[in-house]
Amino acid sequence: MIINKQLKLKLYKSNHHLYLAIDNHWFKTQDIHFDKLINRKELHQYLMDQSKNWIPCPTPDFKHIDPPLNQQEIWAAGVTYMRSRTARMDESKDSGGSKFYDMVYYADRPELFYKGNRRRCVGHNQSIAIRKDSTWNVPEPELTLFVSSSKTIEGYTIGNDVSSRSIEGLNPLYLPQAKVYDRSSSLGPCLYIPDSPISPETMIKIKISRKNQIVYQEQISISKMKRDLFELVDYLFRDQRFPNGVFLMTGTCLVPDENFTLKINDQVDISIDGIGTLTNMVSI
């Protein structure tokens, strides 16, 4: 029996099964309500206690992994890193919208926007999409929080906030069109559930490959984020309820140069320490 509370837990969804990884031990179950399972305080301890009721299994050979959500909404924070502020100001300077990105970076109130739901989100080894009416498309690798309906951060995953920068750059009011469309986000490969908050020294890494050649690669520590994670959660929950919990992308600092755009069949690999790697191919 596994009783060490300090072990890190990872929860995976694949082929109508849930898989729980505790250190090198794997368990699976089928007949369970995912939303009720994850939407609770002290999720780490609950899963440790419940693992004895799950079926031990070999390490799964995952081909595709579903995003770790069901009825939860996905929200995102913007301009939480200095690099993001600078990039957004550059892309919108011709439209006169650059000052708004400068203002929101320094404002008390953060930028928060709706990013979609399960229908618009894909998982690990599934295809993200770029808009056909956009000429400048980029991935945005982001630490993503799972927040319970009680407003507690219970887990973390990797998020890709795929964005059409040519559309948002024309006018900041076009942000919903640049950010929300079919397969405009990916989450995964798992829901990482530690017993304590994630370290601010955690690294986010991105690698974009094209025809087996790396065309962009960079990494950053989440300590470079201007906003506190609990601050973002507090603003998100103001005058809003999330009965099944919510996923919150926390912004990006890894922004390719303006001469870069995603192309069909590119491969995007995003890694975060402790969580793993989220891989997606690009399509339309």
- Residue-wise pLDDT for 108-121, tens only, equals 889 999 999 999 99
CATH 3.90.850.10 maps onto the chain at 73-283
Which pLDDT value is given to residue 3?
Answer: 46
Kindly give, in sequence order, each residue whose CB lies less than 8 Å from that of residue 24, ignoring residues fewer than 6 positions away: none
Which pLDDT value is given to residue 82?
Answer: 61
Calpha distance 145→155 (Å, rounded) = 6
Average the pLDDT over 242-258 and give the result: 92
DSSP state of 13: E
For 73-283, CATH number? 3.90.850.10
Condensed to tens digits (0 to 9), the pLDDT of residues 152-164 reads: 999 999 999 999 9
Which pLDDT value is given to residue 60?
Answer: 94
Percentage of the residues of the chain whose pLDDT score is greater than 90: 75
Largest CA distance in the chain: 62
Q: What angle do CA 18, 24, 30 make, to 5 degrees?
A: 15
Condensed to tens digits (0 to 9), the pLDDT of residues 229-241 reads: 999 999 999 999 9
Which pLDDT value is given to residue 255?
Answer: 83
Instruction: Assign 31 a pLDDT band (cuts: 50, 70, 90).
Output: low
Element (H, E) at 22: strand 17-22
> What does the mean pLDDT of the chain come to?
90
Using the structure block, give the residue that is written with the tokens 């507090």: 234
pLDDT at residue 89 greater than cutoff 80: no
Strands (E), 117-249: 121-122, 126-129, 137-138, 141-147, 153-161, 163-164, 185-193, 203-210, 213-221, 246-249
pLDDT at residue 102 greater than cutoff 60: yes
